Structure 1
């Protein structure tokens, strides 16, 4: 069995933030291209039809893309860079 080294809670937190692209601002770039890069890095985001404050997929990208705008998803859908299933 593979023995993994032990890490501290602080190291685990940092690893989680880095793997999700949340450790620094502007990791994925800006604009529609940044949103596309974030989606590709995450593999997918769930487009949520429920809206309380804003639809959930916008929260996911807003935290990762500087100056994120809700119409970025629509632009990526129209460009066939992402698809909705």
Structure 2
């Protein structure tokens, strides 16, 4: 997958953050988004995920910053 994504410019638009919770040094967000992809070499922009949702788990670092530990995502749109 990585070689394919390396050839694209990605544009992710977050539509809403549905939930945010913190449990000690772990935090999570649940959101909805749209993903658009445009070839770096030029060409038409495609809407790769028009109606996506994600659940992201963050871990607090020793310096107090947060880093993504897991990011799970999928589409609400049925396959064609």
| TM interval, short-chain normalised | under 0.3
- Give TM-score, length-normalised by structure 2: 0.26
- Flag the structure with higher strand content: 2
- Give TM-score, length-normalised by structure 1: 0.25
